[in-house]
Structure 1
Amino acid sequence: MGRDRGVRRFGAALLICAVGLGLLSCSGTTDPPPTETPAPTPSRARPASEPAPVPIAFAPLRGTLADGAALAHPSIAVKIDNHEEARPQIALNRSDIVFEELVEGGITRYAVVWHSDVPDEVGPVRSIRPMDPDIITPFGGPVAYSGGQEVFVDMMMSTGLPNLVFDYDDTGLFYRADDRPGPHDVILLAKEGVGRHLDLAPPPNQFVFGSADPLAAPGFAAQPTSHLALVFSDARFPSWDWDAAAGVWLRSQEGAPDSEASGERVRATNVVTLRVGIDWSWGEVPRTVLDGGGEAWVSVAGRTAHGSWSKAAREAPIVLTADDGSPLRLAPGNTWVELVPNDGSVAFAP
């Protein structure tokens, strides 16, 4: 009997081994289920056709995002004519900063700086004036003009900046446009002018930038503004109107809309108005006084804030300070600086 029970136990064990399909051994221990080792995931190589990431930087004169490599060149400052027969000017809306200054006869002229978007051609180009070294030196790039009184040319040459002068050029950097009356017909190959000086550094920042509405904080006490009326003289009284839909100021001259050669209305993201003294020691040629400081307004995003401006040295930028002592910030975009004489006038309408 005992022997029969032993045989039956042994047979039952064999049956269990068979039913378990090999998952249970005859000794009763459990083997883990078989697993597969996953193949390693190879790292993804960038296809040769896929472009490398673009290094992003801020344009120093506009405060806008841009391709860093595309900004690795100097700016170019150009004296641009604003005589009635010089209009419409070429590529003003592609500039970073425009300075409007009083010259002889009560008319104005521009010192225009291009960096983030240098056109192939700009103009009409005119002669240098005694305040231009103070305006242009901080940018550090070449300056282009058609000539000027010897004393003023010497002043500009003394800055050490590369001077590109139509009167002295025999390299084809300038030409006279057949469709414009002289002397308002000198055109500069601006991109070529920059390309000849790629050893120079990009310009340093000139202003402090904030948001698209940088004067919204109560501390600036910025006033709603729809219209700016500026008087340089009886012959020059530009104005700016706020276009809320486009988010820009639109320019007029002597009561008429001001357009550039492209047909676009001249426009600005920021209008900076500075009250300046005039030095008449050069006879009939006025010199805008930019050493020292004075009253300032910044108009942006349909608002205007009052403050002051200062300039420590010829090489230093213009510093804008709000009445509460904080920096007057600009919105990212292009800027016009209106250098209005103290005996002119400035008015802002809500």
Structure 2
Amino acid sequence: MARRARPVLGRRGVPLAAVAASALLLCACDAASVDLIPTATPTHEARPAAEAAPVGIAFAPLSGTPADAAALRHPSLAVKIDNHWDARPQIALNRTDLVYEELVEGGLTRYVAVWHSDVPDQVGPVRSVRPMDPLIASPLGGIIAYSGGQQYFVDLMHATPLLNVVADEDDGTLFERADDRPGPHDLVLAAADVVAANAGLAPPPVQFAYGTADPLAAPSLAATPTSRIELVFSESSSPSWEWDPTTYAWLRAQDGTPDLEASGERIRATNVVTLRVAIEWPYEEVPLTALTGTGEAWVSAGGRTAHGTWTKPDAGAPITLTADDGSTLRLAPGNTWIELVPNEGSAAFAP
């Protein structure tokens, strides 16, 4: 609010001689003969000013952005989201804190999308679980939602500490089929209802370290200016990101076409974290992303990219990002996409 200007009090233009004469007369008068104008006596009792209740400010654990502490006291919701071309545009991806993109059968990719600081009413389309999803979601705690899957993969997910919300086990209150989408890419989850019904579960722990809006500026990180990120998961999947300095965000494309969500907005991210991962095949045609151990990593934020390594010692541990100089690779506060690019694929960062 603009501060109101205080009026400047000036002289009335009375001649200086008259002012001086008046002053001499006042000095000559006996103090008792001067009538002082009485001050009005208040007719009400003075009351102390009301004190506003303090508002607790915290930082969202999955995005590093400031938020009302009370609004963060609920679990995160991880959802298996379809990325088949018939599933696009997906619902509410720009309101996620984290999105993990993984290779699935047929050379396509799917997402594990995570909402916590901003939970929408609906998300989707929801698809089935895959064998690497317990490795991705376990460090988050909270809730995991999916449509179903091969029984062995479902059993793996049920063995995690997460609350499983499964369409195959739903009574029809949380999942519904959207009339304007082709099946099986039409399953929508009532996300806000799921979180509200399980609000007593613990909030997620921090997954990544956060810094400033330009966290890669330190010369020791040797970050390079980046205008475009080109990723290849397979012959069928080639997502890319381009840096937009006007919105200070990475804008996503798939197979050379701008990638939109259902709101009509271009899918965007504050950070893009690219991890090179091994792909194993213990389940015949279903690939398994090996997400424990260590590997090559890049963090792209603020129009720069820094190189380093990722480490994840076990299923319950979060991913640790370390720069080539040994320091922690920090992200900018905001949403993050984690690209789990196969070693057989490629990652390129254009200046």
Quote how far apart the aligned CAs of 1:100 are: 0.2
Q: Distance in 2 between matches of 1:20 and 1:257?
A: 90
Matched with 1:80 is 81
Q: 2:313, 2:345 → 1: CA distance?
A: 24
Aligned pairs (5 A) from 1:1-350: 42-46=47-51, 52-350=53-351
| RMSD over equivalenced CA pairs, Å | 1.9
Residues in 2 aligned to 1:179 and 1:244: alpha-carbon distance in whole angstroms:
35
CA distance in 2, matches of 1:294, 1:20: 95
CA-CA distance at 1:225 after TM superposition: 0.3
- Extract structure 1 runs of 4+ deviating beyond 2 A: 19-23, 38-43, 51-54
Deviation at residue 54 of structure 1 after TM alignment: 2.4
Note the C-alpha offset of 1:43.
2.4
**What do residues 125-153 of structure 1 show as CA deviations (whole Å, max 9, x unaligned)?**
00000000000011111100000000000
So what's the TM-score if we normalise by structure 1?
0.87
Corresponding residue number in structure 2 for 1:29: none
| TM superposition shift of 1:68 | 1.0
- Distance in structure 2 (CA, Å) of the matches to 1:20 and 1:205: 78
Q: Could you tell me which amino acid in structure 2 is paired with residue 317 of structure 1?
A: P
Secondary structure of 1:52's aligned partner: coil
The Cα offsets for residues 53-95 of structure 1, whole Å up to 9 and x where unpaired, read as 3211101111011111111100000000000000000000000
Distance 1:22 1:302 in 2: 79
Q: What 5-or-longer segments of structure 1 have no aligned partner?
A: 1-18, 24-35
Deviates more, 1:192-201 or 1:217-226: 192-201
1:268: Cα distance to partner?
A: 0.2
Write the letter of the residue equivalent to 1:196: A
Which structure: larger Rg?
1
Residue by residue over 1:245-303, the C-alpha shift from the partner in whole angstroms, topping out at 9 and shown as x without a partner, is: 11000000011100000000000000000000011011100010011010000000110
Residue number in structure 1 paired with 2:21: none
Residue type of the partner of 2:63? R
Q: Aligned-pair distance for 1:21?
A: 7.3
Moved more, 109-118 or 189-198: 189-198
User: Which deviations, in whole Å up to 9, do the C-alpha atoms of 1:293-346 show, x marking residues without a partner?
Assistant: 100000001100000000021111000000000000000000000000000001
**5+ residue gaps in structure 2?**
1-28, 34-38
Question: Percent of counterpart pairs with the same letter?
Answer: 66
1:22 deviates by: 7.6
Q: Deviations over 1:10-57 (max 9, x none)?
A: xxxxxxxxx96789xxxxxxxxxxxx9x999642134xxxx6332111
Secondary structure in 1 matching 2:194: helix
How many Å separate the matches in 1 of 2:348 and 2:333? 24
Rate the CA distance shift 1:21–1:77 in 2: closer, same or farther, 3 A.
Answer: closer
- Over 3 Å counting, the alpha-carbon distance change for 1:22 and 1:260 in structure 2 is closer
How far does residue 171 in structure 1 lie from its aligned partner after superposition?
4.6
CA distance in 1, matches of 2:122, 2:46: 54
Partner of 1:6: none
Partners of 2:289 and 2:275 lie apart in 1 by: 11
Which residue identity is paired with 2:48?
A: S
